[in-house]
């Protein structure tokens, strides 16, 4: 089979592609693993990961012609990750609408035009929850997004739901927790500080914590998220039923707990590189986000979270030895 990963040059895209191609096959139905013959990564740039079965196509998800051209007769699955993230979508409304909303619409229309319903996994976000929320967000809590990014993700989920109901695709949307620790340079996500306060001190660089250390977030490691994305893609449609969107398991972690985990893994020295300086624009967004979830449905469907925040920091150190200044 052929698979498409949009946003394939991005952080989660590169990791999903590596996981898929290292496995060489994928089961879209129980006990029916099929060899992955080719994988197309679509993005505005090329990624670093290379493999003989991988082809990068550079283009714009907002262009319907470019999106249609990605499909082949044997395209069986799509992971849709292309997006502009929260801070960028908030700062540039038109760009967010174009990439996050027109993008998924183009992809769904192109998938619908194929001969058979294609399996499609959409990377949504817990940013669909905001405003006046219950103490614990449950599976039945109605999304009430408070930012443009969350609104765009929620509309995307609804479209995946309707295209699946109509039998045009076999879709599913997962609401991903904030992924910590994100490697590389800080990106446009308003939640970026949750990674920055671990990654930057470990690299020997100064970092600003723009929120109160008591701020809690719903987080998951890159390893856990990629495993959950693979699981979501593999689950049979009957297991989803009519409800094609799910809150993924994670951990509720305060920034104070993150800093304590950093100290356990790397000692006290990196902590001196963290400066607390509140940023009102980030506080405005973060204070509307949900940080406590009961993900009973996802746990029953076999999704699993990380053990604890210290394990997340240790996994980052293991996976990115090149980014560690000295320990
Ligand atoms: N990382 C997180 O904490 C997190 C949390 C919740 C949801 N998500 C979602 O998961 C997905 C992947 O996240 P990520 O962390 O890898 O982000 P990322 O920014 O690293 O990847 C997104 C990719 O989309 C690409 N892209 C942007 N505009 C495009 C366009 N017009 N056409 C084609 N490609 C375009 C970018 O170049 C980038 O490579 C996103 O949809 C994001 O909203 C991420």
pLDDT at 186: 79
Q: How far is the CA of 264 from the centre of ligand 1 (A)?
A: 31
Q: How far is the CA of 310 from the centre of ligand 1 (A)?
A: 26
How many residues does the structure list for the chain?
A: 327
Instruction: In whole angstroms, give the CA distance from residue 240 to residue 88.
Output: 32
Instruction: In whole angstroms, give the CA distance from residue 54 to residue 40.
Output: 6
Instruction: In whole angstroms, give the CA distance from residue 25 to residue 3.
Output: 11
Task: Give the domain extent around 257.
Answer: 190-216+251-292+301-323
Instruction: In whole angstroms, give the CA distance from residue 129 to residue 143.
Output: 5
Q: Which two tokens stand for residue 20?
A: 């898929």
85 shares a domain with 203:
no
pLDDT at 245: 98
Query: What is the SS3 assignment for 217?
Result: strand
CATH number of residue 39's parent domain: 3.40.50.720
10 Cα distance to chain centroid: 10
198 shares a domain with 80:
no
Residue 185 belongs to some domain of the structure: no
Residue 182 belongs to some domain of the structure: no
> Residues near 89 by Cβ (< 8 Å), separated by ≥ 6?
83, 95, 96, 100, 147, 148, 149, 152
Residue 311 belongs to some domain of the structure: yes
259 shares a domain with 157:
no
Known catalytic residue at 163: no
39 DSSP β-pair partners: 3, 54
Q: Which two tokens stand for residue 232?
A: 């979501």
203 shares a domain with 117:
no
Residue 184 belongs to some domain of the structure: no
142 shares a domain with 24:
yes
pLDDT at 327: 56
Residue 183 belongs to some domain of the structure: no
Q: How far is the CA of 16 from the centre of ligand 1 (A)?
A: 12
172 shares a domain with 263:
no
pLDDT at 87: 83
pLDDT at 203: 96
6 shares a domain with 87:
yes
Domains held by the chain: number: 2
Residue 259 belongs to some domain of the structure: yes
Residue 104 belongs to some domain of the structure: yes
- C-beta separation of 27 from 34 below 8 A: yes
Residue 74 has a CB neighbour count (10 Å cut-off) of: 11
> Residues near 82 by Cβ (< 8 Å), separated by ≥ 6?
6, 7, 10, 42, 43, 61, 99, 103
Orientation of helix 11-23 relative to helix 222-234, angle to 10°: 60
156 shares a domain with 261:
no
Atom of ligand 1 nearest to the CA of 187: 19
136 shares a domain with 64:
yes
Q: Which two tokens stand for residue 322?
A: 């090149």
Instruction: In whole angstroms, give the CA distance from residue 323 to residue 184.
Output: 8
pLDDT tens per residue, the chain (327 residues)? 999 999 999 999 999 999 999 999 999 988 889 999 999 999 999 999 999 999 999 999 999 999 999 999 999 999 999 999 888 998 999 999 999 999 999 999 999 999 999 999 999 999 999 989 999 999 999 999 988 999 999 999 999 999 999 999 999 999 999 999 999 887 777 889 999 999 999 999 999 999 999 999 999 999 999 999 999 999 999 999 999 999 999 999 999 999 999 999 999 999 999 999 999 888 877 888 899 999 999 999 999 999 999 999 999 999 999 999 865
Residue 70 belongs to some domain of the structure: yes
Most informative mutation of 85, 90, 193, 196 for ligand 1 (most atoms within 8 A of CB): 85
273 shares a domain with 152:
no
234 shares a domain with 93:
yes
- C-beta separation of 130 from 114 below 8 A: no
pLDDT at 326: 66
196 shares a domain with 90:
no
Q: Residue 216 is inside which H or E element, if any?
A: strand 216-220
pTM listed for this prediction: 0.96
In angstroms, what CA-CA distances link 221 with 251, 295, 304, 319?
Answer: 10, 17, 11, 11
Cis omega before residue 86 (within 30°)?
no
The active-site residue out of 56, 149, 163, 316 is: 149
Atom of ligand 1 nearest to the CA of 188: 19
């Amino acid at each position: 089979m052929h698979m498409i990963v949009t946003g394939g040059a991005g952080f989660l895209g590169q990791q999903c592609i590596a996981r898929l191609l290292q496995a060489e096959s994928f089961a879209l139905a129980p006990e029916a693993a099929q060899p992955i013959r080719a994988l197309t990564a679509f993005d505005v740039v090329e990624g670093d990961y290379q493999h003989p079965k991988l082809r990068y196509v550079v283009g714009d998800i907002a262009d319907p012609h470019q999106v249609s051209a990605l499909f082949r007769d044997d395209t069986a699955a799509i992971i849709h990750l292309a997006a502009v993230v929260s801070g960028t979508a908030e700062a540039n409304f038109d760009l967010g609408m174009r990439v996050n909303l027109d993008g998924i619409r183009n992809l769904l229309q192109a998938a619908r035009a194929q001969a058979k319903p294609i399996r499609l996994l959409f990377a949504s976000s817990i940013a669909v929850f905001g405003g006046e929320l219950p103490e614990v967000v449950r599976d039945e809590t109605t999304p009430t997004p408070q930012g443009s990014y969350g609104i765009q993700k929620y509309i995307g989920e609804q479209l995946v739901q309707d295209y699946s109901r109509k039998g045009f695709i076999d879709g599913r949307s997962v609401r991903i927790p904030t992924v910590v620790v994100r490697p590389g340079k800080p990106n446009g996500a308003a939640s970026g500080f949750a990674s920055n306060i671990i990654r930057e001190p470990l690299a020997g660089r100064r970092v600003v914590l723009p929120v109160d250390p008591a701020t809690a977030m719903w987080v998951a490691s890159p390893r856990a998220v990629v495993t959950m994305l693979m699981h979501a893609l593999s689950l049979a449609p009957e297991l989803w039923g009519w409800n094609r969107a799910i809150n993924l398991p994670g951990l509720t972690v305060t920034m104070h707990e993150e800093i304590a985990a950093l100290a356990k893994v790397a000692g006290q020295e990196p902590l001196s590189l963290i400066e607390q300086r509140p940023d009102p624009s980030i506080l405005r967004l973060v204070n509307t986000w949900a940080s406590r979830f009961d993900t009973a449905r996802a746990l029953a469907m076999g999704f699993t979270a990380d053990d604890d925040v210290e394990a997340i920091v240790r996994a980052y150190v293991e996976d990115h030895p090149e980014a560690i200044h000295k320990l």
